[in-house]
Amino acid sequence: MNSVRLGRSDVLVSPICLGTMTFGEQVSEREAFAIMDRALERGVNFWDTAEMYAVPARAETYGATETIIGHWLAARPGARAQVVLASKVAGPSRGMPWIRAGKGMTAADIIASCEGSLRRLQTEVIDLYQIHWPERHVPAFGNLYYDPAKEVTQTSIHEQLQTLAQLVQQGKVRAVGLSNETPYGVHEFVRLAEQYGLPRVASVQNPYCLINRSWDNAMDETCDRLGVGLLAYSPLGVGLLTGKYDQSGLTGPAAPQGTRLSYPSVQKQRWGRPEALEAARHYNALAREHGLTPTQLALAFCYRSWRVASTIIGVTSVAQLDENLDAWGVQLSEEVLTQIDALRWKYRDPGQ
């Protein structure tokens, strides 16, 4: 895998990124160590985490993922220089008061969160520091529509950028990014950065997979023209695109135990919609018709898309990691890509 540049920054990463949000919930520290060792061995040098992880989010596991990564880095002298490390500051509370009081995300909040992440990660610098979700009200996480009546923003984008600039100037952050963003947000962050000489966003981490291609409806043009890279998360649709739910269903005792969708909190989210499973079953069937596994089809779709800078894969075992990395060699024919588009036309984006 050749390295790719994130946006117009000087940060070079592998085109596959190790997502770590399962560490500390589904994955023990011992298992996480084995996964990180294997990822680095196979050339994946880009790892993504966040202050709010592990997930599903709860007070008891807040910061657990970063802590595990920090323990791994401390136990592997020299490893930090080999890893491009990304983390995120949580946006406004979203029902998680253990992250911070109130509903906003002030400059002081951003600084405190970054310093907390640095401590847990046992590092002096975060290579890519991202805003996990916008401080303002946006359609995200299954909410389809923007509603100005729900706007409660307290910290302007300009102030957020100024605060991120402070962290960059102090050497605590190399580059900045966004997550769960909209075209307006990306344009505004870039406009203000260019106008005031502030850090330019290098990337946006948004969902992108066969059952959620909402990125293809404006965000792709926005980020291509502005030179901002996509970090595609949930490329397997929280497991729906692996085929593991094709027979069992999504909820109750039928859902495979230990999987993301066996958690009631996840079942209530966008990925738990019956329409999402129905669409996923058709993509999974398409994969099998062409001699591929569902995982190979779903990952190859992201791996080979011009829209994607790096694809974030989340795993719970070394075996899953190897399966996902082995899919790097899969090429999709024009016939398969045409059939994928036909299914999207029919089922749209039920995981949006």
What one-character DSSP code corresponds to residue 246? T
Measured distance CA(232)–CA(19) in Å, rounded:
11
Q: What SS3 state is found at 17?
A: strand
CB contact at 8 A, 17 and 85: no
> The tokens of 121 are what?
């990660």
Catalytic residue among 53, 283, 303, 347: 53
Q: Where are the alpha helices (DSSP H) in the chain?
A: 29-41, 64-75, 107-121, 157-169, 183-196, 219-226, 264-267, 274-289, 294-303, 318-326, 334-347
d(CA 106, CA 108): 5
11, 5 contact by CB (below 8 A): yes
Q: Which helix (H) or strand (E) holds 207?
A: strand 203-207
Task: Establish how many alpha carbons lie within 13 A of residue 14's alpha carbon, considering only the half-sphere containing its beta carbon.
Answer: 23
- Asked whether 284 and 244 are in contact (CB, 8 A), the reply is no
User: What residues contact residue 334 under an 8 Å CB cut-off, 6+ apart?
Assistant: none
> What is d(CA 81, CA 340) in angstroms, rounded to the nearest whole number?
40
- DSSP letter, residue 38: H
- Neighbouring-strand partners of residue 183: none
* Segments of 71-137 assigned E as strands: 84-89, 126-131
CA distance 251 to 274: 10
User: Is cis: bond before 54, omega within 30 of 0?
Assistant: yes
Q: Compute the chain's Rg from CA coordinates.
A: 19
Q: Could you confirm whether 145 is annotated as catalytic?
A: no
Catalytic residues: 53
